[in-house]
Amino acid sequence: MKPWLLLSLLLLQQTLQSAVGQPAKSKRPKEPGENRIKPSNKKVKTRTPKLKERNSTEPSPKASSIMTRVMEKGHFQKPTATLNLSTGQSIELRCKGNRIEWSYPPYLDTFKDTRLSIKQHERYSQLVLENATAADTGEYSCWLLLCNGYNCKKDESKRGSTYLFFADKEEFFVPAPSYFEVVYLSPDKPAVIPCRVTNPSAKVTLHQEFPAEEIKVDGTNIVYDAKKGFIYQHPTSDQKGVVYCRAESRGTPQISIKYQLLYMEVPYGPPSTTIKASSNKLQGGSDVNILCRVLGQPDVEVEFNWMYPGQEYKRPVNIQDSWRLIDRGVGHTTRLSESIITVEDLETIDAGNYVCVAQNLRGQTAVATQVELI
């Protein structure tokens, strides 16, 4: 075979091998660093658990808000933490869920205000407040209920909340049910003077009645929150007295109701109970009064229950409960609660032990000393 023909065949063979993608034997070996691209696949795999981990912590309270505000023309908007509105306006809020519970200013329930309506639909609950007033200022919140039969509990992970300010040109402060209110100062918890405003931009100051002067609000020991009022972080007996708030908007001032600050220093625990009868030795046909007295914290109510000999026979008796605040020393105020049971025209079945059981609203119970009638 001719040399030029042999050379042509060799060149043709190399061209065919290159076309079919076969690597040439003379290809250089890979450098050590060139194989490091492979572990990048492992990095992609490790990202997947991280995404799952992030999802497992959801829903966070902020991200899982179920509340929306219905705007004009059927548009919806997530409400912010506070909304500034004007009196006379109406607002509609919705919360997603087939069973929703709402919270709103309690006076709307007290007076059964027809301006407020709540309807539960198949997939959401609807709250509508019409022709709002300054008194409607407050927090409106909702949460999903998880029910098993008749037992329901709140799902705190699925809730929504917003604070509505309804500004009024004549009412700078949210109206109070009375012209005077008592605020208890306790050394172990903050105290709130609830002079809330209807317009958060109003300038509010705190004043004491005697001596007449403004109380310094330093932002540490005393702070102001437009949603709550003035907060005494660490109350002391020196702060007791009568105070009021002053609000100013566009140069116009307005005064709030007055607040009586009472300092209390009563140990937390069961109420202190005593019992006393008008006489322990009585004859048939006479009357007897048995007094049960309880000393406790000024801001904690007490409920009385009596056990007496004629109770199982449904013996008619008269029971009267009352309470008042008393001063037990410099700066120490205590709540005195009393219950009097009166048994008239004593009979044989009335002889025996009379027991007074006093329970405060914290579930703490005390049993009074027993009195035996002979």
What does the alpha-carbon distance between residue 26 and residue 274 come to, in Å, rounded to a whole number? Answer: 108
Q: With respect to residue 75, please indicate whether it lies within any of the assigned structural domains.
A: yes
Q: With respect to residue 283, please indicate whether it lies within any of the assigned structural domains.
A: yes
CA angle, 40 as apex, 35 and 43 as ends, to 5°? Answer: 145
User: Cα 359 from chain centroid?
Assistant: 24
Q: With respect to residue 5, please indicate whether it lies within any of the assigned structural domains.
A: no
Domains identified in the chain, total number: 3
pLDDT score for 318: 92
Task: Report the chain's terminal Cα–Cα distance, integer Å.
Answer: 147
Same domain, 248 and 309: no
What are the residues whose beta carbons fall under 8 Å from the beta carbon of 174, sequence distance 6 or more? Answer: 134, 135, 137, 138, 196, 197, 198
Q: Which amino acid is at 39?
A: P
Sign of CA dihedral 43, 44, 49, 54: positive
Same domain, 321 and 283: yes
Q: With respect to residue 213, please indicate whether it lies within any of the assigned structural domains.
A: yes
Same domain, 79 and 121: yes
Q: With respect to residue 1, please indicate whether it lies within any of the assigned structural domains.
A: no
pLDDT score for 34: 40
Q: Where are the beta strands (DSSP E) in 56-108?
A: 67-70, 76-77, 82-86, 91-96, 100-103
292 within 8 A of 303, measured Cβ to Cβ: no
pLDDT score for 43: 44
Domain that holds residue 355: 272-373
Do you find a cis peptide bond into 32, omega within 30 degrees of 0? no
pLDDT score for 54: 44
Adjacency order of strands within the sheet including 229-232 = 191-193, 229-232, 222-225
Same domain, 192 and 124: no
Tokens of 233: 């972080």
Q: Indicate the residue among 138, 167, 196 that finishes a domain.
A: 167
Same domain, 157 and 184: no
User: What parts of the chain have a pLDDT lower than 50?
Assistant: 19-27, 29-63
pLDDT score for 25: 46
88 within 8 A of 181, measured Cβ to Cβ: no
Q: What is the pLDDT of residues 198-235, one digit of tens each?
A: 999 999 999 999 889 999 999 889 999 999 999 999 99
Same domain, 276 and 369: yes
Same domain, 303 and 358: yes
Same domain, 145 and 217: no
Q: Indicate the residue among 208, 229, 263 that finishes a domain.
A: 263
Q: What is the CA radius of gyration of the chain?
A: 38
Where are the alpha helices (H) located in 20-151, listed in sequence order? 40-56, 107-110
Tokens of 37: 């691209």
Instruction: Please report where in the chains the tokens 């519970």 appear, as a residue.
Output: 101
Same domain, 107 and 160: yes
Same domain, 195 and 153: no
What does the alpha-carbon distance between residue 187 and residue 210 come to, in Å, rounded to a whole number? Answer: 22
Same domain, 128 and 196: no
Q: With respect to residue 355, please indicate whether it lies within any of the assigned structural domains.
A: yes
Q: Which amino acid is at 305?
A: N
What does the alpha-carbon distance between residue 96 and residue 67 come to, in Å, rounded to a whole number? Answer: 7
Q: With respect to residue 149, please indicate whether it lies within any of the assigned structural domains.
A: yes
301 within 8 A of 361, measured Cβ to Cβ: yes
Instruction: Please report where in the chains the tokens 């929306």 appear, as a residue.
Output: 68
Count other C-beta atoms under 10 Å from residue 80's C-beta: 10
User: Cα 366 from chain centroid?
Assistant: 29
Cα dihedral 266, 270, 271, 276 in deg (nearest 10): -140
Q: What's the CATH number where 186 sits?
A: 2.60.40.10
Same domain, 207 and 277: no
Q: With respect to residue 185, please indicate whether it lies within any of the assigned structural domains.
A: yes
Q: What is the pLDDT of residues 69-111, one digit of tens each?
A: 999 877 899 999 999 999 999 999 999 999 999 999 988 887 6
Q: Indicate the residue among 145, 167, 189 that finishes a domain.
A: 167
What does the alpha-carbon distance between residue 247 and residue 201 come to, in Å, rounded to a whole number? Answer: 10
